[in-house]
A and B are shown apart, each in its own frame.
Chain A
Amino acid sequence: NAGVTQTPKFQVLKTGQSMTLQCAQDMNHNSMYWYRQDPGMGLRLIYYSASEGTTDKGEVPNGYNVSRLNKREFSLRLESAAPSQTSVYFCASSEAISGGWAQYFGPGTRLLVL
């Protein structure tokens, strides 16, 4: 099992350009998430998808859109990138366990917007 995979690993964009971050999981999890991680701050939830066909906004959704393509894939799109979106983006999926649910994170995508 590859777990959670993300592409690309690194990306440099110019302000105003668009791009899509890809995420896939092979653990048959229903729920998937997109987070961003900035220096000196905890991970912040951008969007999540509780199950195939549903998506919901998290704490910082502005400037992003998502698509839950199927159970495996959850993509994050930046329509018009801004320097404030320079960050490390993590995708995660989760499964229910005793006492809650466990999240599994991908390796991250490092995005620089100039």
Chain B
Amino acid sequence: KNQVEQSPQSLIILEGKNCTLQCNYTVSPFSNLRWYKQDTGRGPVSLTIMTFSENTKSNGRYTATLDADTKQSSLHITASQLSDSASYICVVAPGSGYALNFGKGTSLLVTP
């Protein structure tokens, strides 16, 4: 069973609008949670990384939040741009070991 679930599976928004992507996880214990952006045909690129003690982390127009009690994270994208069209992947690192837990990703399409 996948320990990292993302929603929605896909999303279409108009350029300039905001959106929020969700990530629920069951990995326990965990050391950190990351959000990656993956453009079509490219490898994932890190957007944010948060430890279990952090609640929020920003990277430009991207803001990630983490609630370790409910095991939920969200990625908020402000004033979306066409270049934000990509897959966004939530990744949870366990408390020990090298095996990361990857979500299946949310596919975002920003239209003019």
Footprint of B on A, CB under 8 Å?
4, 31, 33, 40-45, 48, 50, 56, 58-59, 90, 92, 97-108
Contacts and interface: CB of A to CB of B under 8 A. Distances in A.
B18 interface: no
A103 B104 contact: no
Interface stretch (B67-75, B76-84, B94-102): B94-102
A76 B95 CA distance: 27
A27 B15 CA distance: 36
- Shortest beta-carbon contacts, A-B, top 8: A42-B102, A105-B43, A99-B51, A100-B32, A43-B102, A100-B31, A42-B104, A105-B44
Interface of B: 2, 4, 31-32, 34, 41-46, 49-51, 54, 89, 93, 98-105
B92 to A, nearest CB: 11
B49 A41 contact: no
A107 B44 CA distance: 8
B99 A100 contact: no
B42 A59 contact: no
B98 A33 contact: yes
A50 to B, nearest CB: 7
Contacts of B42: 107-108
